[in-house]
Structure 1
Amino acid sequence: MALLDMMRAVLEDSGLLALWHTLAPSLALDERQLIFMVATPIFIGITFWEYRKIRHDPKLMDTAEAIRNFALGAGYQVTELLFAGIIAFPVYALCYHYRLFELELNWLTGFLTFLGVDFCFYWMHRASHRMRWFWAAHVVHHSSERMNFSTAMRQNATNIFNCMWVFYLPMALIGFNPVWIGVAYAFSLVYQFFVHTTLVGRLPGWIERVFNTPSHHRVHHGRNPEYIDRNYGGTLIIWDRLFGTFAPENDANPPEYGITRQIHSTNLIVLWTHEYVDMFRDMSRPGGLLSRLGHLWRPPEWQRPTISNSEQPGTLHERNHPEPDRH
Structure 2
Amino acid sequence: MIVLEAMREVWTDSGLAALYAALAPWLALDARQLIFVAATPVFLGVAFWEYTRIRHDPRLMDAGEAVRNFMLGAGYQLTELLFAGVIAFPVYAFAYRHRLFDIELTWATGALLWVLTDFCFYWFHRTSHRVRWFWCAHVTHHASERMNFSTAMRQNATNIFNGGWLFYVPLAFIGFNPVWIGVCYALSLVYQFFIHTTLIGRLHPAIEFVFNTPAHHRVHHASNPGYIDTNYGGVFILFDRLFGTFAAEREDQPVRYGITRPVYTRSLIKSWTHEYVDMLRDMLAPGTWRERLRHLWMPPEWQRPVRVHGRQPPH
Same-fold call, TM cutoff 0.5? yes
Contact 2:307 2:313 (8 Å CA) reproduced: yes
Give the whole-Å Cα distance in 2 for the aligned partners of 1:292 and 1:62: 39
Q: How many residue pairs are counted as aligned between the two chains?
A: 291
Unpaired segments of 5 or more residues in structure 2?
1-24
- The alpha-carbon deviation at position 69 of structure 1 amounts to 0.2
Matched, 1:241 2:244: no
Give the whole-Å Cα distance in 2 for the aligned partners of 1:149 and 1:300: 26
Matched, 1:59 2:59: yes
Contact 1:306 1:316 (8 Å CA) reproduced: no
Deviations 1:76-119 (A, max 9, x none): 00000000000001100000000000100001110111011000
Give the secondary-structure state (helix, strand or coil) at the position aligned to 1:59: coil
The root-mean-square deviation of aligned C-alpha atoms, in Å, is 1.3
Contact 2:222 2:228 (8 Å CA) reproduced: yes
Give the secondary-structure state (helix, strand or coil) at the position aligned to 1:258: coil
Q: Percent identity?
A: 68
Contact 2:148 2:196 (8 Å CA) reproduced: yes
| Letter matched to residue 51 of structure 1 | Y
Give the whole-Å Cα distance in 1 for the aligned partners of 2:89 and 2:162: 15
Normalising by structure 2, we get a TM-score of: 0.91
Give the whole-Å Cα distance in 2 for the aligned partners of 1:75 and 1:316: 46
Alignment correspondent of 1:111: 111
Give the secondary-structure state (helix, strand or coil) at the position aligned to 1:133: helix
Contact 1:305 1:316 (8 Å CA) reproduced: no
Alignment correspondent of 1:206: 206
- The alpha-carbon deviation at position 313 of structure 1 amounts to 4.3
Normalising by structure 1, we get a TM-score of: 0.87
Aligned ranges for residues 157-172 of structure 1 at < 5 Å? 157-172=157-172
Matched, 1:133 2:133: yes
Task: Identify if the C-alpha distance between structure 1 residues 151 and 106 changes in structure 2 by more than 3 Å, giving closer, same or farther.
Answer: same
- The alpha-carbon deviation at position 304 of structure 1 amounts to 1.0
Unpaired segments of 5 or more residues in structure 1?
1-24, 318-327
Deviations 1:130-187 (A, max 9, x none): 0000000000000000000000000000000000000011111100110000000000
Task: Identify if the C-alpha distance between structure 1 residues 313 and 29 changes in structure 2 by more than 3 Å, giving closer, same or farther.
Answer: closer
- The alpha-carbon deviation at position 260 of structure 1 amounts to 0.7
Give the whole-Å Cα distance in 2 for the aligned partners of 1:290 and 1:117: 34
- The alpha-carbon deviation at position 308 of structure 1 amounts to 3.9
Aligned ranges for residues 141-180 of structure 1 at < 5 Å? 141-180=141-180
Contact 1:137 1:162 (8 Å CA) reproduced: yes
Matched, 1:285 2:285: yes
| Letter matched to residue 304 of structure 2 | R
- The alpha-carbon deviation at position 193 of structure 1 amounts to 0.1
Give the whole-Å Cα distance in 2 for the aligned partners of 1:186 and 1:26: 18
Give the whole-Å Cα distance in 2 for the aligned partners of 1:100 and 1:275: 38
Contact 1:307 1:316 (8 Å CA) reproduced: no
Contact 1:283 1:292 (8 Å CA) reproduced: yes
Task: Identify if the C-alpha distance between structure 1 residues 172 and 59 changes in structure 2 by more than 3 Å, giving closer, same or farther.
Answer: same
Contact 2:118 2:233 (8 Å CA) reproduced: yes
Aligned ranges for residues 13-52 of structure 1 at < 5 Å? 26-52=26-52
Contact 2:126 2:232 (8 Å CA) reproduced: yes
Deviations 1:216-274 (A, max 9, x none): 00000000011000000000000000000000001111110001111111100000000
- The alpha-carbon deviation at position 27 of structure 1 amounts to 4.2
